[in-house]
Structure 1
Amino acid sequence: MLKITVGDLDINYQIQGKGPPLLMIIGLSFSLLDWGKKLPDRLAQNYQLILFDNRDAGQTSQSTRPYSITDMADDAAGLLDALKIPKAHVFGVSMGGAIAQQFALKYPDKLDKLILGCTMAGGSCSQYGDISGVMDGNLLELLFTPEFIKSDRAALEVFLKETAPFHSKGEALQRQLQAFATHNTCDTLPNIKATTLVLTGDRDIVIPPTNSNVLAAKIPKAKLEVIADAAHGFSYSHADTTAKLILDFLQ
Structure 2
Amino acid sequence: MTASTATHSAPRVAKKAKTATTRAKPKKMPAHPPEVISPNNDQYDEHRFEIEMVTVGDQEVRVGRQRGNGKGVPLFMFNGIGGNIELLSAVAAWMPEREVITFDVPGVGHSPLPKRPYSLRTMADLAAGILDHYEHDQADIFGISWGGGAAQQFVRTHPDRCRRLVLCATSMGMIMMPSHPSVALKMATPRRYMNKGYAQQVSGDIYGGDCRNNPGLVATLFKHVHWQSRKGYYLQVMALIGWTSFHWLHKIKQPTLIMAGFDDPLVPVLNARMMNRLIPNSELEMFDCGHLFLMTRPEASSKALSEFLDRA
**Same fold by TM-score greater than 0.5:** yes
Question: Is it true that 1:234 corresponds to 2:293 in the alignment?
Answer: yes
Once the 2 structures are TM-superposed, how far is the Cα of residue 108 of structure 1 from its aligned partner?
A: 1.0
Q: 2:96 aligns with which of 33, 44, 47?
A: 44
Percentage of matched positions with identical amino acids: 26
Q: How many residues align?
A: 243
Give the corresponding residue for 1:157: 219
Structure 2's unaligned 5+ residue stretches are 1-50, 193-198
Aligned to 2:116: 65
Q: Give the 3 Å change call, closer, same or farther, for CA 246–100 of structure 1 in structure 2.
A: same
How far does residue 147 in structure 1 lie from its aligned partner after superposition?
Answer: 6.2
Change in 2 beyond 3 A, CA 1:143/1:199: same
Aligned residue identity for 2:101: I
Q: 1:74 to 1:144 in 2, by over 3 A?
A: same
2:211 and 2:83 map into 1 onto residues whose CA distance is 23
Greater share of residues in helix: 1
Q: Give the C-alpha shift of residue 181 in structure 1.
A: 2.5
- Runs (4 or more) in structure 1 with deviation over 4 Å come to 146-149
Specify which of 192, 205, 227 is matched with residue 265 of structure 2: 205
| Matched AA of 1:206 | L
Conserved 8 A contact 2:156-2:252: yes
Q: Which residue of 2 aligns with 1:7?
A: 57
Give how far 1:182 is off: 2.4
Shift in Å, 1:38: 2.6
Which blocks of at least 5 consecutive residues in structure 1 are unaligned? none
Distance 1:123 1:159 in 2: 28
1:68/1:182 contact within 8 Å kept:
no
The TM-score normalised by the length of structure 1 is: 0.90
The answer on 1:81 being equivalent to 2:132 is yes
CA separation of 1:92 and 1:168: change in aligned 2, threshold 3 A: farther
Partner of 2:203: 140
Report the CA distance between 1:161 and its aligned residue. Answer: 2.4
Please say which of residues 99-108 and 130-139 is displaced more in the overlay.
130-139
State the match for 1:128 in structure 2. Answer: 178
1:174, distance to aligned residue in structure 2 (A): 1.4
Max Rg structure: 2
> Is the 1:148–1:237 Cα contact (8 Å) retained in structure 2?
no
Matches of residues 114-125 of structure 1 in structure 2 within 5 Å? 114-124=165-175
Q: What is the DSSP-based 3-state SS (H/G/I as helix, E as strand, rest coil) of the residue aligned with 2:166? A: strand
* Superposed CA offset, 1:18-59 (max 9, x none): 333110110111111122x331111233x1000211122111
Shift of 1:169: 2.8
Partner of 1:11, secondary structure, is strand
1:90 and 2:141 matched: yes
How far residue 87 of structure 1 moved from its aligned partner, in angstroms, is 0.5
What is the deviation of 1:144?
A: 4.5
Q: CA deviation at 1:162?
A: 3.0
Summarize deviations over 1:185-236 as a string: whole Å, max 9, x none. 11010111111000001111111111111111111111111111x1111101
Q: Distance in 2 between matches of 1:132 and 1:28?
A: 15
Could you tell me how far apart the structure 1 residues matched to 2:79 and 2:128 are? Answer: 15
CA shift at 1:68, angstroms?
1.1
Q: Is the 8 A contact 1:120 1:215 kept in 2?
A: yes
Question: Is the 2:56–2:129 contact (alpha carbons within 8 Å) kept by the matching residues of 1?
Answer: yes
What residue is the counterpart of 2:253 in the other structure? 193
